C-alpha cells in the first residue's frame, strides 16, 4: 500500500543518488491551471491516504519515494527556444524527485499522461506528457536519465 505524506510548504531540491551518483529528478511543465490539489485528485483513487499542501506532495512505499514540488523558479534554467517549444501561456513547473526509478515509472503515468503537460528529462528530451508515457510503454527499459 502506498501512502502520501506532505512536507513543509517550501519547495526545495533534494538530489539522491543511485549507484552511479546520477541525480534522481525530472521536471514536468503544465499550464497555469495545474495545482498540487489537482495532482492530489489524480492520486486519490489509487492511494489510501492522500494529503496536499501548497507546493509539495510525497508518495512513499517502503524505502521508495516520489516527491512532487511546485517550483516556478525552474523557468530561469530554460532558454527562450525551449519555452517557445513548450508553448504554454502560463507555465507552471514541477520538480519530481525520487530514489527508485521503477517506483517512479509506476507513478509517472498518473501525473503526466496528458498532451497539455510537458516532460523534461534534462538530457535533451522535452516531450508532451502523453508522448513521454507512450515512449515509456513502448520501450520499458528506456532510462531517460541517460543521454542516448
What are the tens digits of pLDDT across the range 106-144?
A: 888 888 998 889 998 777 788 999 999 999 899 888 888
Q: Which residue has cell 514541477?
A: 94
The predicted pLDDT at position 118 comes to 93
> What is the three-class DSSP state of 56?
strand
Give me the percent of the chain exceeding a pLDDT of 70.
78
Indicate the burial class of 67 (C-beta count within 10 angstroms; 0-12, 13-18, 19 or more): buried
- Average pLDDT estimate for 5-19: 35
Provide the mean pLDDT of the chain. 76
For the entire predicted model, the pTM comes to 0.78
pLDDT tens figures, 55-83 = 888 777 777 788 889 998 999 988 898 88
Best CA proximity match to 34, nearest among 60, 85, 71, 76: 71
- How many alpha carbons lie under 13 Å from residue 14 in its C-beta half-sphere? 14
- Average pLDDT estimate for 8-19: 34
Amino acid at each position: 500500500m502506498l501512502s502520501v505524506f506532505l512536507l513543509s510548504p517550501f519547495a526545495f531540491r533534494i538530489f539522491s543518488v543511485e549507484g552511479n551518483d546520477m541525480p534522481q529528478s525530472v521536471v514536468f511543465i503544465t499550464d497555469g491551471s495545474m495545482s498540487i490539489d489537482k495532482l492530489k485528485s489524480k492520486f486519490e483513487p489509487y492511494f489510501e491516504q492522500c494529503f496536499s499542501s501548497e507546493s509539495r506532495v510525497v508518495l512513499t512505499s517502503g524505502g521508495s519515494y516520489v516527491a512532487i514540488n511546485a517550483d516556478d523558479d525552474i523557468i530561469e534554467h530554460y532558454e527562450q527556444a525551449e519555452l517557445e517549444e513548450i508553448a504554454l501561456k502560463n507555465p507552471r513547473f514541477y520538480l519530481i524527485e525520487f530514489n527508485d526509478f521503477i517506483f517512479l515509472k509506476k507513478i509517472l503515468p498518473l501525473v503526466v499522461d496528458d498532451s497539455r503537460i510537458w516532460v523534461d528529462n534534462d538530457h535533451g528530451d522535452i516531450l508532451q506528457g502523453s508522448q513521454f508515457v507512450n515512449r515509456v510503454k513502448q520501450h520499458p527499459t528506456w532510462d531517460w536519465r541517460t543521454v542516448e
